[in-house]
Amino acid sequence: MWEQYKKTLIGMQIVIFAVTAGIYSKFGQQITVALAFFVTMQLSAVLGAMWAARLKGRLERRADTLPLRPKA
């Protein structure tokens, strides 16, 4: 999971910072609103990396099996 997260770390942090700054300025400089977006986006980045790692693992396992092997 961390390997997947490290691949997208820089780009995601730039996007998260830009969106947080935009939300902060758009909503009258309310730090609580911006902080809520920041925390939500950080959690989503970690959960997305976990999900991507799980999908990648499934695809790799599926590629290793023979297509005509009976499922037991």
pLDDT of residue 49: 87
Share of the chain above pLDDT 90, in %: 42
| Average pLDDT of every residue of the chain | 85
Q: Domain extents for the chain?
A: 2-59
Looking at residue 20, its pLDDT comes to 94
Distance spanning both ends of the chain, measured CA to CA: 29
Taking alpha carbons only, the member of 60, 25, 21, 61 closest to residue 41 is: 21
Instruction: Tell me the whole-structure pTM to 2 decimals.
Output: 0.70
Other C-beta atoms within 10 Å of 34: how many? 19
The dihedrals phi and psi of 27, each to the nearest 5 degrees, come to -95, 35
Give per-residue pLDDT as tens, 10-42.
999 999 999 999 999 998 888 999 999 999 999
CA 62-63-66 angle, to 5 degrees, is: 85
